[in-house]
Chain A
Amino acid sequence: MIFSSIIFLCMFMPIVFIAYYLCPARARNFLLLLASLIFYAWGEPGYIIVMVSSIAINYLAGRLVSMYKEKLMPVKAKAVFIISIILNICTLFFFKYTDFFIQILNNTGFAKIPIIDIALPIGISFYTFQTISYIADVYMGTTAVQKNLVNFAMYISMFPQLIAGPVVRYGQVEKEIGRRELSSENTAIGIQKFITGLGKKVIFANQAGALWEEISAMPPSGNSVLLAWLGAVAYTFQIYFDFSGYSDMAVGMGQMLGFNFPENFNYPYQSKSITEFWRRWHISLSTWFKEYVYIPLGGSRKGPARQAWNLFIAWALTGLWHGAAWNFVIWGIYFFILLLIEKCFLLKFLQKIPKTICHIYAMFFIIAGWVIFACGDIISPSNYIKALAGINTPFFNNYAIYKLYTSIFLLLIMAAASTKLPACILDQLTSRLNGTARFWIKAIFTFIILITSMALLISGSYNPFLYFRF
């Protein structure tokens, strides 16, 4: 089931949340587990087995690791830890990367292995990262073992962040899994957060996505530099509003349930360097790679050469995490190179020049990065890149002018909406009002967003799901 659907909004959500509020506190985790399993099985009835096995294995591994540690048997603890990490990675690898590597082998010419062509269980990249973080934290002793199977299963399968993040590490919600307070304030603010996210996805991302889809399907003969850049900008907005919209919906629902999930996006398109961008974009994922790949590899503690290598590994894997295709690996390495250059000298230089130029610099490389990211969706990536660069392509054509003036209003709204500006304006305008009045003004916005989003969903407007590859 996806959040941006009528069945979720008008059936699943009201039933689950009303039941949750009426249910006694001690049964809530069980209810949430049940709801999450139904949520997952709705779209992936077969793959529920994969998730349930993952829960069982990691629960057991956690218990064993902590038991051996208590009994001062570090070798056994380490063995269980390593085996469970390998199992987690192998599961993810099997479903996500087998065909990718079979094709690499086949391309070398020495092998002719038929591809297995299996669908990726939705959300596996997210919940596998959560199980790995749990086992690693238990092994490192930074978190206590979860002895209650229902609680553990609920943590892994929790529907708000199951399919598109954020990656909630166990330690971040450990206390709330055991005991969390519900308040009418958290419910109301959570609802507002959820609706904001829904609007980002349905009102912004889907419209930008439709624009991108049309332009990316353009035959090279009909393309122009202006059109190609318009497409790239549209995709830039689509991916941000889609992804951050999903995260907002997850965080909002988490808050409605009494959790405090970490924020996943912090106005990334306001960034003035690539380094800053990655502090603001998909924060939970970059943090995960930092904590569980970069730092264990030695981080910056073993000299600059080793540090560069560690960064390279972390970024190549970050790229690969986004999908089993070369363009994602290249996309990761692209950011590795940019980050390395910034680390070496560029950041110091950027601090001396006007902020606007820094912003343009950052946005240029961010947008170019998204073109690499989207290569798999473009009919002819090489021609598209030529069009962006103006090679054998006119600067503009009628089609570009048409698309520009019919979408400029949307693009400007999205540009403003991807910054802090709207929130600041709203705060300014309502600063003299009391708390209740301010709340109702926001509430009216959420009513409009909700009804508009439902209208767009019902009318069958373009509504893609971007996370089937993650």
Chain B
Amino acid sequence: MKKTYIIYSIIIFIILAVPGLLVLVLPQREYSAIENRYLDKLPKINTSEIISGEFQEKVSDAFNDQFFIRDFMAGLSTSFKKSLGFKDIGGVYLAKDQYYIEKIEDSNISKDQLVQNLKYLSYFIEKQQADVYTMFVPSPGTILNNKLPAFAPFYNADTIYNTASTILGTDYITDLRKALSPGSNENGDFYFKTDHHWTLPGAYAAYQEYCTTTGLTAQPYNSFNPVKASSSFYGTLYSKAPVFTAKPDNIYAIQTSLAENAEVVYDGKKQTGIYNKEYLDQKDKYAYFFGGNYGRVDITTGSNADQKLLVLKDSFANSFVPFLLNDYSHITMIDARYYNSPLLDTALSENYNHILVLYEASNFANDKNLYKLIK
């Protein structure tokens, strides 16, 4: 028995000590693409930080973040919780058909912020000469509610639409819920399974609605020549609850000469074409569309149309706007989160024909930057 005890004890100490040693010996990882964040690294010894305890905290954090099989352990942790029967992990529902759906409850929607934002928007609309259209992209859980686990709480989207209709008036709102309600059609699924964004077919369904509202003529889906840009997209929701069995999403993007030749200026930086291929090799593949989040993106489309469009938006617009390249000579996209000039001035002084406000519904309700609309 003595030998057994000794062998066992040695194995345990190896399991404990080797990862600890590896943290000290292996080169430090800067960034976790899976989690989309910078990792904590071992700090330099600093006497005042040792006295305050800050140094110790940093070391403790670094031991978590620099663990040699961190990503595997994260997958193990989620898989374990899943096997216990948990249906939501890390704020994400593990929904049917391998869908990940962000868990947004009524308590996550700030009613006050929503009303405030709508008032900002209402004021903004009043000041404009241009036609203003507002589209709220339904949260994935609103459309895919039959995929949610049984009885899983999810916020009531009516709250947002009804409040918006009351404050803005129904004329200014295009309700996308009906158009997106099938969740998929012959073009494909409307939402990614591993990411919180909509897919190209989802954005196209909204494009059809947009055309109906504005009087533009919607072109057929296939005329945009959609092609598969990536077949290995693990989105942000996957990162919050990585399970080993998850399958990657495909990213489709339209391939037209306008999309490839448009002149795009990102916060002052010029580029030809609306796609950023380098992101396809990275984790955040959705940034293939317009390079992710910028305060202001100006697109000279090269189209013969003579109209100008301003899009006030969150990231959902990035895969939607490509459909409009043919309909406008110039499109400006502004993300209020990263844009620090007076928005009202910009909109008034630059002579737009159309202004589109395009936000995912819960994002709009909770956005804290829309006060910029009245400046």
A-side interface size class: 35 or more
Question: Is the CB of B60 closer than 8 A to any CB of chain A?
Answer: yes
Question: Is the CB of A347 closer than 8 A to any CB of chain B?
Answer: no
Contact residue among A1, A409, A439 (Cβ-Cβ distance under 8 Å from B84): A409
Shortest Cβ gap from A85 to chain B (Å): 31
Shortest Cβ gap from A445 to chain B (Å): 12
In the complex, are the beta carbons of A10 and B19 less than 8 A apart?
yes
In the complex, are the beta carbons of B151 and A401 less than 8 A apart?
yes
- Residues on the A chain within 8 Å of B25, using CB: none
In the complex, are the beta carbons of A43 and B56 less than 8 A apart?
yes
Question: Is the CB of A422 closer than 8 A to any CB of chain B?
Answer: no
Cα distance A408–B85 when bound, in Å? 8
Stretch from B46-54, B133-141, B198-206 at the A interface? B46-54
Question: Is the CB of A398 closer than 8 A to any CB of chain B?
Answer: yes
- Known interface pairs A14-B13, A461-B77. Does A406 touch B85 (Cβ–Cβ under 8 Å)? yes
- Residues on the A chain within 8 Å of B59, using CB: 7
Q: Which of A17-50 contact B (CB under 8 A)?
A: 17-18, 42-46
Residue in B closest to A461 when the chains form the complex, CB atoms: B77
> Would you give the 0/1 interface string for B68-85, flagging 1 where the beta carbon is closer than 8 Å to chain A?
001001101110110011
Cα distance A439–B6 when bound, in Å? 12
In the complex, are the beta carbons of A458 and B73 less than 8 A apart?
yes
Q: Which of A428-470 contact B (CB under 8 A)?
A: 435-436, 439-440, 443, 446-447, 450-452, 454-461
Stretch from A66-74, A167-175, A180-188 at the B interface? A180-188
Question: Is the CB of B64 closer than 8 A to any CB of chain A?
Answer: yes
- Residues on the A chain within 8 Å of B2, using CB: 184-185
In the complex, are the beta carbons of A207 and B4 less than 8 A apart?
no
Contact residue among B19, B50, B53, B153 (Cβ-Cβ distance under 8 Å from A44): B53
Question: Is the CB of B15 closer than 8 A to any CB of chain A?
Answer: yes
B-side interface size class: 35 or more
In the complex, are the beta carbons of B151 and A456 less than 8 A apart?
no
In the complex, are the beta carbons of A219 and B85 less than 8 A apart?
no
Residue in A closest to B87 when the chains form the complex, CB atoms: A406
Contact residue among A222, A402, A439, A446 (Cβ-Cβ distance under 8 Å from B107): A222
Question: Is the CB of B152 closer than 8 A to any CB of chain A?
Answer: yes
Cα distance A398–B8 when bound, in Å? 48
- Residues on the B chain within 8 Å of A455, using CB: 73-74, 76-77, 80
Question: Is the CB of A120 closer than 8 A to any CB of chain B?
Answer: no
Report which residue of B13, B53, B64, B151 has the largest number of chain A beta carbons within 10 angstroms of its beta carbon.
Answer: B151
Cα distance A265–B26 when bound, in Å? 41
Cα distance A214–B284 when bound, in Å? 30
- Residues on the A chain within 8 Å of B106, using CB: 222
Question: Is the CB of B188 closer than 8 A to any CB of chain A?
Answer: no
- Residues on the A chain within 8 Å of B87, using CB: 402, 406
- Residues on the B chain within 8 Å of A187, using CB: 5, 9
- Residues on the A chain within 8 Å of B15, using CB: 447, 450-451
- Known interface pairs A405-B151, A439-B1, A443-B8. Does A11 touch B73 (Cβ–Cβ under 8 Å)? no
Cα distance A402–B19 when bound, in Å? 38
In the complex, are the beta carbons of A436 and B63 less than 8 A apart?
no
Cα distance A207–B85 when bound, in Å? 12
Residue in A closest to B86 when the chains form the complex, CB atoms: A406
Residue in B closest to A191 when the chains form the complex, CB atoms: B12
In the complex, are the beta carbons of A13 and B16 less than 8 A apart?
yes
Shortest Cβ gap from B119 to chain A (Å): 25
In the complex, are the beta carbons of B12 and A435 less than 8 A apart?
no
Residue in A closest to B89 when the chains form the complex, CB atoms: A461
Give 4 closest A-B pairs by Cβ, nearest first.
Answer: A10-B20, A14-B17, A459-B77, A188-B5
Interface residues of A (CB under 8 A from B): 1, 5-7, 9-11, 13-14, 17-18, 42-46, 184-185, 187-188, 191, 195, 207, 219, 222, 398-399, 401-402, 405-410, 413, 435-436, 439-440, 443, 446-447, 450-452, 454-461
Selected A-B contacts with CB under 8 Å, 21 pairs: A6-B67, A7-B60, A18-B17, A43-B53, A45-B51, A45-B53, A46-B53, A184-B6, A188-B8, A191-B8, A399-B151, A401-B150, A405-B151, A406-B85, A408-B85, A413-B84, A435-B1, A447-B15, A450-B12, A451-B76, A458-B70
